[in-house]
Chains A and B, each alone.
Chain A
Amino acid sequence: MGEFWHRFARNRQALFGLGILGCVILLAAIAPLVYPADPFSLAGQSMSPPGENGFLLGSDSLGRDVAAGIAHGAKTSLMIGLVATLVAVLIGVIMGALAGYYGGWIDDLLMRTTEMFQTIPSFVFAILLVAIMKPSIESVVIAIAVVSWPAVARLVRGEFLSLRNREFVQACHTVGMSDIRIMLGEILPNCLSPIIVIGSLMVATAILIESGLAFLGLGDPNVMSWGFQIGAGRTLLRSAWWVCTFPGIAILLTVLAINLVGEGLNDALNPRLRERAG
């Protein structure tokens, strides 16, 4: 762990990303303290530019505080990213592990299923799922997870395929360990690092997908999120640029930060690459 952190900390970009990410998480945590009111509340003069009428980042067409929305939206956006990713990783790991470990017809069946999901245009599929389940936070999370898991499944399958014939796995077989224990206890820990890397990047993508869905009017109307703010502010872009620009910047910074951290993790977990090249 110490060595890992040492390698990670050497990467300035990754540290920078971690710093921003920390700020976003902090923002989400303190939002209820700084902005105790409902972020949807009509807080004052509508369309106030940043800094005027007591609005740090301005207000929108109904007089809602953009800054309060960003603060409260941070939690939603991070939550959507995180939960969708966890669900996707869970499905992906199960599918990939079973396929890679058992091979044969199980592998065939599961991989054909994975291919099927990869062959459907993913964004349209996400739209379809949200439309069917009715726009809500849950349906957005499920839709994002459903279109994201195949990548994880492929990755995990590959890792399991290469690890299942290693000596330590063979040894486990000879001592009569159950398949489940071998998969969970022996092989999985050995392929965690690529899963962490791909997972971190998926969080970022999930946040982007959420904003895309919200742009098309498929967000949850009762929950403040950055996607909601952008969707609600987009027609104001020419008259009140601040309404969707600040949430856009919030998304940009967060996605950027997560990506930098993800790359940092990648480099730190796979030191081979950078050192050989260097």
Chain B
Amino acid sequence: MSHTTRRLRYVVKRLLQAVPIIFAILVMNFFLLQLAEGDAVDVLAGEAGSATPEYMAELRAKFGLDQPLPVQLARYLWNVVQFDLGYSFRHEMPVSELIFDRMVPTLLLMISTITLAVGFGILLGLIAATGLNTWRDTAISIFALITYATPLFWVGLMLIVVFSLNLGWFPTSGMENLTAFYEGWDRVWDIARHLVLPTITLSLFYLALYTRLMRASMLEQYGQDYVTTARAKGVTERRIVFVHVLRNALLPVVTMAGVQVGALIGGSVIVESVFAWPGLGMLAFEALFARDLNLLLGIFLLSALLVVAVNLVVDIIYSTLDPRIEVA
């Protein structure tokens, strides 16, 4: 069997394994949400000011919320099988449309955060590990821990106060300038400027993790026999670090980045809230409190798919970085 077909088989197998997990997530959350008091109609009626029970019953019938639970669930799952995420009665829009609208901002924030956090994490971890137990190491550890331990919203608000209000470098919030409605490259530049503060805030939180992981991973590699052998052969320390150790030390960091992608979708609720960033985390948050079941399940489904996909990609990168690991 050729290498490519084996790899392809592996991908298919992994995807098949993910199917029951995703269905289980949907079913579990479906029932969990049923445990919550009130439904989408209660929220809509409450916001509307006043609505009669008859009107609410009509709305429930329209939304299909009057059906027995198993029927509702079966309908939902049947739709999902046909790649239809259903309809958000609150937004009067198909769920898929709502989610895809938020996908771009979410991915922008996610990718820039992971890049920044992993990039700096690797750098700081490397510096710390090469200067083990020196002041550099200590300073970096403490810095990373402080950024991790400072409540996110506090960092966010402080960045807004300093960089938006006092220095005027960046806009406070949102994704675009709404007075100008830029187009073309101006728009790209505008969005990039809006992206800076939320990215920094969120990546500060993850920075500690990657710094620590990188440091530990470097130390682990230092202890391996091949380093001792290389040293014995008289290979320079610089060459040992950059050619041998670094490459292997990156493996766990990459894996972790994969795992983090899932957490990022949910973990950015606070940052999205503080910076009014139109991401999926906030959408999920609002969907929950509006009891917009289809929308919330849709977001869970999508983020689950994303996690599965990213982990798969990571595994493949992994096997490329380290040919000894066979995909099987």
Contact = CB atoms under 8 A, between A and B. Distances in A.
A and B touch in the complex (CB under 8 A): yes
A265 interface: no
Interface string B201-243: 0000000000010001001101100000000000000000000
B278 to A, nearest CB: 16
Interface in B134-168: 138, 141-142, 145-146, 148-154, 157, 161
25 contacts: A13-B138, A13-B141, A112-B17, A113-B24, A118-B259, A120-B25, A121-B263, A121-B284, A121-B300, A122-B266, A124-B284, A125-B266, A128-B29, A131-B36, A212-B152, A212-B270, A215-B270, A230-B154, A237-B157, A255-B148, A256-B145, A259-B149, A276-B219, A277-B132, A278-B133
Interface in A232-255: 234, 237-238, 244-245, 248, 251-255
Contact of B149 (A128, A212, A256): A256
Nearest to B212: A263
B153 A116 contact: no
B103 interface: no
Given A120-B300, A276-B223, A248 B151 contact: yes
A112 B21 contact: yes
B222 A132 contact: no
Contact of B269 (A124, A244, A255): A124
Contacts of B284: 121, 124
A116 B28 contact: yes
B303 interface: yes
A203 to B, nearest CB: 12
Nearest to A124: B266
A132 B32 contact: yes
A169 B240 CA distance: 40
Interface centre among A13, A129, A238 (most CB of B within 10 A): A13
A132 B285 CA distance: 13
A119 B28 contact: no
Contact of A119 (B32, B35, B223, B262): B262
A4 interface: no
Contact of B267 (A119, A122, A244): A122
B253 interface: no
Contacts of B259: 118
A57 B60 CA distance: 52
A123 B263 contact: yes
A118 B149 contact: no
B149 A208 contact: yes
A251 B151 contact: yes
Given A121-B303, A124-B284, A124-B299, 18 more contacts: A116-B21, A118-B259, A119-B307, A119-B308, A121-B300, A124-B266, A132-B35, A132-B36, A204-B149, A208-B149, A215-B151, A237-B154, A251-B149, A253-B149, A255-B149, A272-B223, A273-B216, A277-B129
Contacts of A112: 17, 20-21, 24
Contacts of A113: 24
A110 to B, nearest CB: 13
Nearest to A247: B151
A260 interface: yes
